[in-house]
Amino acid sequence: MTSAKINPNGPLKGKVALVTGASRGIGAAIAARLAMEGARVAVSARTAEAGESRLPGTLHETIDRIRAAGGEAVLIKADLAQARERERLIEETLMALGEVDILINNAAITYFSPVTEFTEKRFKLMMEVQVYAPFHLSQLVLPGMKARRSGWIVNISSPAGIDPKPPYGTRGHGGTVYGMCKAALERFSTGLASEVFADGIAVNAVSPGLVDTPGVAVHGLINEATKDRVQPIEFIAEATYRLASGDPAVLTGRIAYAEPLLAELGLTPSALI
């Protein structure tokens, strides 16, 4: 891996990036990676202060990490389950940094439970945060991107969006709704890519594989059967950066898996600040 540092004159110099779900894990890693290439980054999540979540990690820690390395980042706390909060997020990003050039839809709230036991409240909340929030945030930033004829939207998906195949077993039990969300997000990504291709805007989805994050840990997704499939977080951060900076005429409409994408492009992930 290459060394970890902020390059203020990097390929993303002058670009404004908004990363949701950036208080920890994949979102925090992506925010750091974009900042390393010169982007001015707005980081958002529901957890700004310690103690607001049962999981470790806060937005303050994310922006401190970026600023300590010499990057520029602002914190905007928002609950993406609420339409007005999504609108406020875009408004405050505009006021603090300017128009959004790069939107990373990473925020998620996830419950694992069999369909027969899944509550309506949890179903609607997952769909709101994982499907409609990326849709709505994209609606809010697209007018500016179209006016500039430039923009990148990356939606963070998961292999859970792939249809289960026989023979069926217990693997994935309770993950039907999560898979529905990710499948919908991927179809949204490819559909939107086709709609805005002529506007010079790239839209892609990237799947990280199994990454050791606080969210993965709390759901117990890493165990003896899956530990050999764990992927370093640097892979998803690098793949997302590449999809958020590539030529929209070429690199768009992709449902990409992090490691194969980097292999295809002949790249290795950078170390993170």
Catalytic residue list:
178
3-state secondary structure 197-219: HHHCEEEEEEECCECCCHHHHHC
Q: How many CB atoms lie within 10 A of CB 177?
A: 21
Find out whether 156 and 233 touch, Cβ atoms under 8 Å: no
How far CA 1 is from CA of 149, 193, 242, 270, 272, in Å, comes to: 33, 31, 15, 5, 9
Distance CA 47, CA 55 (A): 9
The CA dihedral of 84, 111, 212, 154, to the nearest 10 degrees, is -40
Residue with tokens 């369909």: 115
Distance CA 53, CA 225 (A): 28
Could you tell me the two tokens for 105?
A: 């839809």
